Amino acid sequence: MEILYTHCAGLDVHKKTVKACLLTPGSNGRPHKEFRTYFTTTEELLKLSDWLKEQGCTHVAIEATGVYWKPVFNLLEGNFEILVVNAQHIKAVPGRKTDIKDAEWIADLLRHGLLKASFIPSAPQRELRDLTRYRVRLTEEKAREVNRVQKTLEDTNLKLGDVVSDIMGKASRMILHAISEGETDPSRLAAFAVGRVRASQEQ
């Protein structure tokens, strides 16, 4: 079978450790295999990167499991050609032997060009995507909190939502604060209804 990459490595990433298998040219046309295990701390991952560079490694394949591959990818990016591979794709390749270590199997598949890399955006794109996704989550969480406030008001038969345009607007928050402080006089509470509201003072 054709060999595409003579100096390559397969990484089996877990929460606390990374198991690496490095393949380099050996005697009799067989690859020389070296195994190492590193922890997933930044210091350890930098040691992994230094070791791979010292051995002349050019390509690295990582099995994408959960989110554990991300810090490994971030610290190795720029030093090697990295392939992040879907775990299902690796398992789907015929001929996998159960007694072969995952890292060795990944490295062997990479060596023969049998892995299909997942698309990984550039670092600036990843940062922007994380930021926009976080903003969406915050917006959704805000909406959920507003709905909880509305439900609590309905449960206590306070029809504030019927007379204000925004349950979290300035007037509503002033009324809610006054209620939380113990104010029960409807006239005094209505006096806080300034700005855009649906109802008149009398209502």
**Which sequence spans correspond to the domains of the chain?**
8-120, 124-190
Task: Tell me the CB-side half-sphere exposure of residue 194, using CA atoms within 13 A.
Answer: 6
Report in angstroms the alpha-carbon separations of 76 from 60, 70, 126, 149: 9, 10, 15, 47
pLDDT in tens, 123-144: 889 899 999 999 999 999 999 9
Q: What is the pTM of this model?
A: 0.66
Q: Which fold has domain 8-120?
A: Nucleotidyltransferase; domain 5 (3.30.420)
pLDDT in tens, 157-188: 888 888 887 888 888 888 899 989 998 888 88
> With contact defined as beta carbons under 8 Å apart, do 91 and 63 qualify?
no
Q: How far is it, in rounded angstroms, from Cα 191 to Cα 108? A: 76
Count of other CB atoms within 10 angstroms of residue 139: 10
- Write out the two tokens for 122: 């550039």
